[in-house]
Structure 1
Amino acid sequence: MERDRISLTVPTHTDSPAQQVVQYAQNKDPPSRPLQNRLRKTLFIAMPPKKRQSDVVRRKSRQSDVQPGDPIPNRGKRRYRPGTVALREIRRYQNGTDLLLRRLPFSRLVREIAESVRPRGEAMRWQSQAIQALQEAAEAFLVHLFEDTNLCAIHAKRVTIMQKDIQLARRIRGVWGGLG
């Protein structure tokens, strides 16, 4: 519905507002009062909308735009507030005990490092349990390092961890950087 504005000058100390509106709507002259006691008020009156020819044409064209059998447009992905997904991931990874690094890339890295240490021509064979033990130890080391890194960032009154936090955590741990 459209609203039309009607501006009225209404005395502030006479009848109730409803009576004043009725009085002025009937075109009665307001009582003569000093100008200071009057207050300018705007009255909104709800009017039925006026139908225009262009509105009818627009409605018809909108309805004809969508044909039966047309695919329904996607609404898009749901957006979560910042931090919600991060907290959900933290809970998920804290509840699980599975390894987070993929086994095959980790085993390739271990074999490559072992090859660079051994003299040429001597091949090394690895048991799957040995690689799994190395992977568990490596992940435990990294998790503990990131815990200490987070504490360093919080100590610096930051939320985001930085490279200097990792360097400080490793320096405080010492040469071997144990888990304790």
Structure 2
Amino acid sequence: MKKLLSEIRKCEVCSEHLPLGPRPIVAGTKNAKIVLVSQAPGRKAHEHNKAWDDPSGRKLREWLGVTDEQFYNPDNFAILPMGFCFPGKAKTGDLPPRKECAPLWHDVFWSHLEQVQLTLVIGKYAQDHYLKELSKKNLTENVANYHEFLPEFFPLPHPSPVNRFWMSKNPWFDIDVVPELKNLVSSILNTKT
């Protein structure tokens, strides 16, 4: 896995399309128990070379009920974005993840994982790619029907502050879904493998 991560981090396949240049962000070990499949690193992640080190990451860790130490332990969580590099800014939020990364790297990354018990598919790009024909008509329906995707997948909205409207419109998420997510994550992280 170390060799693969090193290879991915040197990738420059789509460098001409990246406003800040390539800086692939990916993490994990063969023992990772939970895989976080998300959109793409933001500007701050690119600058600090650390995924989820921002308000979105703090919110995600709150939903998961984990500490920073637990979250950044690659034996607990593998980080596998749909696009490994910051794609640039859009009018609201960031541009979509580059389409080159997932076909190029995801299958080989998965082939190195041996202990995965759950995949969190965060945001619509990850859900469309991983849930495929099982996906509902939109992200809200995927998240509301999360139990239909278990035990393999757990769909989540992106925890970005940009999504505060979605959060306020869907209070059931914090009331019903987050406690279930916390319980599941806790049981997985506390299981000896």
Instruction: Between the two structures, name the one with larger relative contact order (CA 8 Å, sep ≥ 6).
Output: 2
Larger radius of gyration: 1
TM-score after normalising by structure 1: 0.20
